[in-house]
Amino acid sequence: MKVIIHDLDPEEFLNAFSDLQNREDVRIIAETQGTMKKCIGCFGCWIKTPAHCIIKDSYNEMPTQCAGDEMIVISRCVYGGYSRFVKNVFDRSIGSGTPFFEIRNGELKHVMREKKGNGSVNFSVYMYGDTITDREKEMMTGLYNANKANMGQETIGNLHFIRDAYTEVPL
Amino acid sequence: MKISMIMGSPKPKGSMSAHLIEEMTTAIGDAGDVQVFNAAKPERFDEVLSCDRLVFVYPLYFDSLPSHVITYLEELDAFIKEHPPKKKPSVYAVCNLGFYEGYQTKWSLGRIQCWADAVGLPWKAGLGLGAGPFLPHLPPVARKRTDKGKEQFLQLLLSDTPGDNIYTEPEIPKEMFVEMGNAGWIPKLEANGLTVDDVMHPKPKQD
């Protein structure tokens, strides 16, 4: 499954990438069902309904919806990180992992559940913007590498800084 | 000296960020007049900005800022550009995380620095507190490094001095911290009638 998470206008995105519509092997996560409520840090997705967010809106299945062997993230670069919506998708998907700690490569991380196949995830991130500063690139690169490390040792992929998502993301 | 603290935890009560704000307010005492604002309510920006120091206090979510803090920063950014403040408060940030290593907050503190760059306010320093939510439950002997880090940070804050970010961890072995943290989840799961196996092998969604 290819999972695409983006913060672009949902309709414009589908018009631009019409080949992605109605595909069983592609899941697109965008703000299509009204404003996404914020994660409230309740840990319900760990200790009450594991892998399911308890917030009652249309985005409460992010922990399972974000799972795929390929994840493509398209986000406006905001102060050296993801935009509000994309970050909220990540915040609302923490139930995809577990609350338990382990030490991986000397650092604390969350214990991951067993993944299907070889466990490898291709995690590609495209950060768009006209005026991304060097400091923002440094912070985003650190964030991307931290995300990768948290997603598991088998995670591969690359981070890209671009100007225009519609012409520069190879979908 | 007026200090605006922005509480960045989404929890309405009992958050570590609120605890840290209380601690800092007590430590500041008569040296400053602290006013607390909540990032979940992006409003009263003129009051927020009528200060000498602006301090963001938040938990680390998924290696970065909680999403509602990003919203807050963007709205405050827009307000500043529309209503440039007469004085430019110095910007500081305090981030706590559940993991052991304080340095894992680096990329989130950097985002606050990038925000300060974007709005033209002077960035001064950040504090990254490893094992944040566990700190109040640790004996003082295990909090020496953390307490020292907090003290150094407050010195930078009160003297309006720039400095390198400060990262701290408790004085307990990392392996012991892992055991303590993992054991702490068991009663919480049991209270909901769940086991470790339920977490490791969750049931599909029930319609």
Q: Residue A117: its pLDDT value, please?
A: 66
Q: What is the pLDDT of residue A118?
A: 67
Choose the closest CB to A100 out of B63, B113, B185. B185
Closest chain B C-alpha to A155 CA, distance in angstroms = 16
* pLDDT bracket for residue B206 (50, 70, 90): low
Task: Report, as an integer, the average pLDDT of B62-75.
Answer: 98
Q: What is the mean pLDDT of chain A?
A: 95
**A88 chain-B contacts, CB cut-off 8 A:** 67
d(CA B31, CA B33): 7
Q: Where are the domains of chain B?
A: 2-171, 173-207
What ipTM was predicted for this assembly? 0.95
Range 50-89 of B in CB contact (< 8 A) with A:
59, 61-68, 70-71, 73-74
Superfamily of domain B2-171: Flavodoxin domain (3.40.50.360)
How much is the pLDDT for B207?
58
Cα-trace Rg, chain A:
16
Q: Which domain range does residue A127 map to?
A: 2-168
Residue of B nearest to A98 (CA): B199
d(CA B100, CA B60) in angstroms, rounded, equals 12
> Mean per-residue pLDDT for B119-133?
97
- pLDDT, mean of residues B13-27: 97
What pLDDT is stored for residue B176 in this prediction?
95
pLDDT in tens, B92-112: 999 999 999 999 999 999 999
What is the reported pLDDT for B105?
A: 98
Q: What is the mean pLDDT of residues B144-158?
A: 97
B 176-205 residues with CB < 8 A to A: 177-178, 181-182, 185, 188-189, 191-192, 194, 196, 198-205
- What is the distance between the alpha carbons of residues B146 and B132, in angstroms, rounded to a whole number? 9
The reported pLDDT for the residue numbered A108 is: 96
Give per-residue pLDDT as tens, B39-56. 999 999 999 999 999 999
Q: Is B23 exposed, middle or buried (0-12, 13-18, 19+ CB in 10 A)?
A: middle
Listed in sequence order, the residues at least 6 apart from B64 whose beta carbon sits closer than 8 Å to its beta carbon are: A81, A82, A87, A143, B107, B108, B111
Looking at residue B205, its pLDDT comes to 75
Q: What is the CATH number of the domain that holds A67?
A: 3.40.50
Other residues' Cβ atoms within 10 Å of the Cβ of residue A140: 27
Q: Check B178 against A138: CB less than 8 A apart.
A: no
Q: What is the pLDDT of residue A153?
A: 82
Mean pLDDT score of chain B, rounded to an integer?
Answer: 96
Residues lower than pLDDT 70 in chain A:
116-118
Domain tally for chain A? 1
Residue B102: both structure tokens together: 């304080």
**The one-letter amino acid at B55:** V
* pTM, to two decimals: 0.96
Give pLDDT, residue B203: 86
For residue range A102-125, list pLDDT tens digits in order. Answer: 999 999 999 998 876 667 899 999
